[in-house]
Structure 1
Amino acid sequence: MRRIIIDSNRCSNPVKIGFLINPIAGIGGPLGLGGTDAIDDALLIESRHISEGRARTAILSVLNQPSFVEMLFVTCSGQMGSQLLTDSGVRHEVVYEYSGTSTGEDTRKACSEFLNRDVEIILFAGGDGTARDIFSVIGKKIPILGIPAGVKMHSSVFLNRPEETGAALQSYIESGRTSDGDILDVDEEAFREGRISVTYLGTALLPDASGRIQPNKSPSVPSDDKHSVNQIASYFVDTMDPEVLYVLGTGSTVSAISRKLGIERNDLAVNAVIGGVEVGSGLDEAGLERLIVMHPNFRILVTPIGGQGFIFGRGNQQISSVMILKAGRENIMIISTPGKLAKLSAIRADTGSPETDEMLRGYWKVLTGYAKYRAVELI
């Protein structure tokens, strides 16, 4: 990939950035649905557009970059791009018009137009499904970069946080260096049933973003960690406070605690227990909010995603940033097997709230066995 030379007098020959937003990406997270591909029109109308907020944060991070004056965003009409760019005062050109609710076909047609306009890179807000649709048109012709706005985001083409978009684009424009990232498609129906069925679709070209791009999700519990899982579950159950509401996040390690209490559950769902009794299963954001109003003495239990390290913001968006702030650090508990932690340099959070993310930063005691802890940094 050629290096793109920055020249303050070169505004007549700008760096063209293809930009699109999947307006419906991510709304399945707070609803506890695992994705948006199968959500009906009624829910789409009633749900807030999460991806627009994530894209707005990303664009704001671009505005103060030295190369911003060199950029021309090539985009789609309305909520797929131009509305946000207009509101943000960003120079742009609309090359694709859509009507009604945007679909994967709109994404693919927009990307074809981006190629026709010789964009240098495509910046998009969405999830694995959006990445899949873009890759089906782009392949490895030009780099792509994902603003994390979906539910699961198993693919390694997404930034860790939207706030890192500006620095990633600046680095690429200065150096022109690229790397590779995998496009993974997750079966959403299987996901909602508690099964992960992932298809590898190919390798995309990415900007070399200096550690700002998340890795692929990896299997959470290797066979040699089964003993650690049992030890974690035993210790947690033995030390539970019967007066506290425990919100049990997603993940097979957390599910072991539920099973130790005699409660079967979907590994990819959120449930809640008090006094060893389940008081909510398959909970969405609204259901959790109702529970903590009734039981203000609550704690949140989470485990990092294997390979990625996220404790919030990937697959458990029903645990909102507001709820996390209400709980506070002292009422958030992290568990993980030693094997999983050994493959992580740190743990992460991407709650959508800078205040919440900042509160979570720093070192945590992570339960790794029966009364065994390890200090791990959240960055």
Structure 2
Amino acid sequence: MRFGLVVNPVAGLGGRVGLKGSDGAAVQEKARALGATPRASERAALALSELRSRLGGDEITVLTAAGAMGADAVAAAGLVPDVRYEPGDPTTPADTVRAATVLAPQVDLLLFAGGDGTARDVLDAVGRTVPVLGVPTGVKMHSAVFGATPRAAGEAAALMAAGGVRLREAEVMDLDEDAVRTGRVSARLYGHLRVPDIPVRVQQRKMGSSITDPSAVSGIAAELAARTGPSGLLVLGPGGTTRAIAAALGADVPVMGVNVLTGDRRVAAADVSATELEALVRASPAWIAVTPIGGQGFLLGRGNQQISPAVLRAVGPDRFVVVATEAKLASLGGRPLLVDTGDEDLDHELRGYLPVLTGHGRFAMYPVR
């Protein structure tokens, strides 16, 4: 097979600094000013390294764009890039469209590293003319066109090369980042791309939250309050479930972003960055509560990158709590919970079975991959 690769170098730049996306030059400039560093090329190289380990370097031809738009990642994976497009400096979404347009007729599978915005650009360029697969490097990634992790994307590409993998039509979602920054989630179906149909390795699209059971939420809130005690901090990941838990505790927090409550249920910090959060949890005992993304099952690595590996290690696994109503778990249809923290050792430590808090004194053991 001949593979193509297009990397959006700034994808995910705003994640750990709490900007809820990376679309637009102004947001990217602000992210850099807050200390954000690009990681898209590094994650693309990880996917290609997995592909190479499964197929061998002699079996892989990667057509790509120059520099940070692809060639750097190909070289970092120990492969020789075949450069077919020269982007501008700085790169723009138009470069993504042009690069994908150039590569698509020449490859059997087009890999792209980015988020939902990059997926929209790729759709504009190639439509359904060539199979594609996203290497997840964005902030939220509600679309169903991404590997569950970079290595999962590489593994899926290798399975395609081996043959016998069917393709499916996968949704590309258009999320209004400006609306998200004001606390309003506004997403619409943008179109479809053809991706390998490999369950678990390729993620599902995000599903809208169902009505939250008030009794279950109040029970979860009571259990968390008992655990944190009067002096500990409670870190709540984003989502409707965690916002409802905060409300049951008497606090009003944004639905998007990571928020911190004090032991007496006041808002200690709202919409924190990874750096701010790490300072808080190192200064005081803390618990972290996250809820899986509806339909996808992601606990970490999608929309909550502020809960970084450094934050998780500072808090410790015994104070990391997964919360979900029984209805939310049932909506996953038995698919496992997923983690993609960017730290492979930490992801490995989180694998296995975790107790999911579903109500006061109620737990369900659920697999994590």
Do residues 361 (structure 1) and 351 (structure 2) align? yes
* Per-residue CA distance 1:171-222 (angstroms, 9 max, x = gap): 11122531221111110011112211111011210123343101011122x2
Helix, strand or coil at the partner of 1:64 = helix
Letter in 1 for 2:238: T
Helix, strand or coil at the partner of 1:223 = coil
1:5 corresponds in structure 2 to: none
Task: Single out whichever of 172-181 and 69-78 deviates more from structure 2.
Answer: 172-181
Contact preservation (8 Å) 1:270, 1:281 = yes
1:6 corresponds in structure 2 to: none
Q: Which runs of 5+ in 1 are unaligned?
A: 1-14
Task: Single out whichever of 161-170 and 134-143 deviates more from structure 2.
Answer: 161-170
Larger radius of gyration: 1
Per the TM alignment, residue 325 of structure 1 is displaced from its structure 2 partner at its CA by: 2.0
Number of residue pairs matched by the alignment: 362
Which of 237, 241, 245 aligns to 1:257? It is 245
2:218 corresponds in structure 1 to: 230
For 1:141-220, list aligned pairs within 5 A. 141-175=129-163, 177-220=166-209
Percent identity among equivalent residues?
A: 35
Per the TM alignment, residue 224 of structure 1 is displaced from its structure 2 partner at its CA by: 6.3
For 1:265-344, list aligned pairs within 5 A. 265-276=253-264, 277-295=266-284, 297-344=285-332
Do residues 63 (structure 1) and 52 (structure 2) align? yes
For 1:17-32, list aligned pairs within 5 A. 17-32=3-18
Helix, strand or coil at the partner of 2:89 = coil
* Cα distance in structure 2, aligned partners of 1:272 and 1:47: 21
Helix, strand or coil at the partner of 2:213 = helix
Which of 67, 75, 79 aligns to 1:86? It is 75
1:16 corresponds in structure 2 to: 2
Per the TM alignment, residue 129 of structure 1 is displaced from its structure 2 partner at its CA by: 0.3
* Cα distance in structure 1, aligned partners of 2:359 and 2:31: 41
* Cα distance in structure 2, aligned partners of 1:328 and 1:238: 18
Per the TM alignment, residue 238 of structure 1 is displaced from its structure 2 partner at its CA by: 4.8
1:348 corresponds in structure 2 to: 338
Do residues 34 (structure 1) and 20 (structure 2) align? yes
Contact preservation (8 Å) 1:237, 1:260 = no
Q: Which runs of 5+ in 2 are unaligned?
A: none
* Cα distance in structure 1, aligned partners of 2:200 and 2:320: 27
* Per-residue CA distance 1:49-101 (angstroms, 9 max, x = gap): 12122112112111212364222111111111112222333122111111222
Q: CA RMSD for the aligned pairs?
A: 1.7
Letter in 2 for 1:137: A
Letter in 2 for 1:182: E
* Cα distance in structure 1, aligned partners of 2:190 and 2:227: 44
TM-score, scaled to structure 1: 0.91
1:125 corresponds in structure 2 to: 113
Task: Single out whichever of 312-321 and 169-178 deviates more from structure 2.
Answer: 169-178
Per the TM alignment, residue 42 of structure 1 is displaced from its structure 2 partner at its CA by: 5.0
Letter in 2 for 1:191: V
* Per-residue CA distance 1:208-253 (angstroms, 9 max, x = gap): 3343101011122x22634322332244335541121211111111
Contact preservation (8 Å) 1:24, 1:44 = no
Task: Single out whichever of 272-281 and 29-38 deviates more from structure 2.
Answer: 272-281
